[in-house]
Amino acid sequence: MDYLRKYFCFIIIAIVYYLLPTFCIVDTGSGMFVLFLILPAFTFFTAVFFTLIKGFKWYYSFIVAALWLPNIIILNGSAAIYAIIFFVLSLVGQLVAFAMSKILLRR
């Protein structure tokens, strides 16, 4: 059980990355909505949440990007750019949360 608690964020990200596109994309419009809005926002906010709970971890963004890589096989080769986008978004989310925690702890 401790193992699940330790990797909870990664498990949730993996579930969302693989199940959301599979079940929510029914046409081009919903696909664009999920890939351009839902998944990036989810990636950003989970990075903020993870950093506020566990602190800044340099490897988190790499794992988030690596979790997307199997979708290149599932979706198509053009999905590879999203690994880079999710890496950047999770890194920015971590930096925002790190700055927020430093500002809040200073007061």
pLDDT tens-digit map of 19-35: 877 787 788 888 888 88
CB 65 within 8 Å of CB 87: yes
Alpha helix stretches (DSSP H) within the chain: 2-6, 8-24, 28-33, 39-54, 60-68, 70-74, 80-106
Taking the C-alpha atoms of residue 32 and residue 50, their distance in angstroms, rounded to an integer, is 26
pLDDT of residue 71: 81
Asked if residue 107 has pLDDT above 80, the reply is no
Q: What is the pLDDT of residue 41?
A: 93
Does residue 3 have a pLDDT over 70?
no
Neighbour count for residue 51 (Cβ, 10 Å): 23
pLDDT in tens, 50-103: 999 889 998 999 999 998 888 888 777 888 899 999 999 999 999 999 999 988
Does 1 have pLDDT greater than 70? no
